[in-house]
Structure 1
Amino acid sequence: MKTVDFTLEMYSQICQALKPYHVLAVVDFLSMKIEKPFTIIRHDVDRCISNALAMAKLESKYGIISTYYFRYPYTYNKEVMSEINSLGHEIGYHYEVLDKTKGRYQKAIELFKEELEIFRKDFQVVTICMHGNPLTKWDGRTLWDKYDMQKLGIIGETYVSFRDKNVKYLTDTGRTWNNAFQFKDTLGKKQINVKNSKELVNLLKAKKYHNLYILTHPERWAFNSLNYIRGYSRDFVFKTGKRVIGMIK
């Protein structure tokens, strides 16, 4: 029987295909000397924290450690985050302060410090990730053109710190593994595309690349039928909106 894409059953197949690789959290890649083949796994928790917990538990069964980035206050849930962290996963800050302050950099860095401190009351946060909202005109990464993240105890950012890294980037943005619906969450020429998750599994098994960097959004990976319908419907609406924005641009 065919496995439905963007379900935890399919993600389980991805986890199995990762067995020959050194699977890394973002902090590990940025702070250690890594042997190939490796795969960095990062999850942007934009919504649906229950999906993030289910995915974290599944990864743990396969001995996989990855990074989960949470938005404040939208997906910040100390209890769920603590449970994910207890499985060995890294907890990171999914910041969007330029959007919140409408592009005012001084206010943005002040807000960044405030929210980072909230995270650090309970978690050791040393890596961060921009939340790329396609409906706003600001690019959160430009905050680091003006300020030094290392002075805040941050060792890396998931886009800025990877500009000079030799990695091949894949993301499930838009419920697809190609770049058709990516506006901000890109790494340029480092991007590679596959048609679907099954093709990704085959790519992993073939060991074509030894330096992969994979992004998922847990809301997209369903753990039951109702969860799948909700996720599919939400993605359909978002993809339609992105098509409109793309035509306007």
Structure 2
Amino acid sequence: MHALVTNDDGIDSRGLGTLARVAVEAGLEVVVAAPDEEFSGASASLTALEADGRLWTHARRLEGLSGVRALGVEASPAFITFAAVHEAFGPAPGVVLSGINHGPNVGQAVLHSGTIGAALTARTHGIPSLAISCTSPEPVHLDTCATVAARALAWLLERPGDEAIVLSINVPDVPPDELRGLRPARLASFGAVQAEVGEIGEDHVTMTIRETDDELEPGTDAALTADGWATVTTLAAPCEVPDVDIAGLVDSGQRSIAAPWEVVQSTKE
């Protein structure tokens, strides 16, 4: 099976190399394609630097991954995934691995994560994916993350081929023998950090980003990782919510707009 390994921390991230080695050790045909610079907070944006319709890529060599094709791509993680699905970097991947992110991706704030955005983009194309993050912005124990990633990848590869699951995993930055285990978790109602508006001027607004001091909700990814557990949460790509009653909004079959549409034809001399 072909695998795409990407991230939002950039091609030089230590976590990216660690995750790529996990994929190689699992026997996958690996291509590493990651942003040539940090793209954190990109969500699933399809952003790329193009010239004359060309997406710019730069061949790289990653430590300990001789023989693995690695590219620094001038694009967001989601765009890279989108391009990979359309065979821009070789055969389309059968699985997408995103990370290992330096810093947590917990709570509803996963909406903004480029790491998660790449995984969800794979999901929209019917490809299973794994997004993994370490809770520390400067990880010390990436070997712990690698152990959890290998276990999750093995489970994912055993699933039916038509089941495109997204696993979001967060791992505490602790030695392997101090990790309490892997637990399912629901998303916390907030992320690891919060933004606050400070000074509001005529031409500027100051913003402060700080770690949240709110009480952690039991059973959530934020609470469990703080307590020494690795967590796994299954995510879904954007989808409709069918149980909302919108009967008072939509038409019943015949036009109910009060005024007919007016077609205006303009001419220029």
Q: With structure 2 as the length reference, what TM-score do the two structures score?
A: 0.29
Bigger Rg, which one: 2
Q: With structure 1 as the length reference, what TM-score do the two structures score?
A: 0.31
Higher relative contact order (CA 8 A, sep 6+): 1
Higher strand proportion? 2
Higher helix proportion? 1
